[in-house]
Amino acid sequence: MSQLCTSDSPDLFRSLLSRIGDKWTLIVIGVLGEERKRFTELVDFIPGISRRMLTVTLRALERDGLVSRTVYAEVPPRVEYEVTPLGRSLQAVALTLGDWVSEHQHTIAHHRREFDAATAP
């Protein structure tokens, strides 16, 4: 973890972490990990996401090379998104994070209740 302080590029490190921690990134990668999808399919598939936030999230992922964007010269326009091999490798790492949360979520929820009970009254 000390690379968080000594890394070549702590700013890059942090920007990646906050990307992972943001509201939609992992969800989008997870959905795209199953199969390539077009814009509206993603909107329909991901409950609660707005077109704006989907655009913002996809642009960021594309910029980092985690997702690729393919435009087909058709009318009406068709655009498909797909995770890259790099994105897939991130997904694999994120999955272990997801497993950790799944495994410990009840313990953590319990800690929170205890802490709140001990602090609030």
Partner DNA sequence: CTGAATCCTAAGGGATACTG
Partner DNA sequence: CAGTATCCCTTAGGATTCAG
Check residue 88 for interaction with its own copies (CB under 8 A): no
Check residue 56 for interaction with its own copies (CB under 8 A): no
CB of 59 to its own copies, least distance (A): 9
Torsion of CA 80, 84, 89, 94, to 10 degrees: -30
Check residue 22 for interaction with DNA (CB under 7 A): yes
d(CA 89, CA 10): 21
Nearer to DNA by Cβ, of 103 and 117: the residue is 117
Q: Which of residues 32-71 bind DNA (CB under 7 A)?
A: 38-41, 48-53, 55, 58-59, 69
Where on the phi/psi map is residue 101: left (φ > 0), alpha (ψ -120 to 50), or beta? alpha
Check residue 79 for interaction with its own copies (CB under 8 A): no
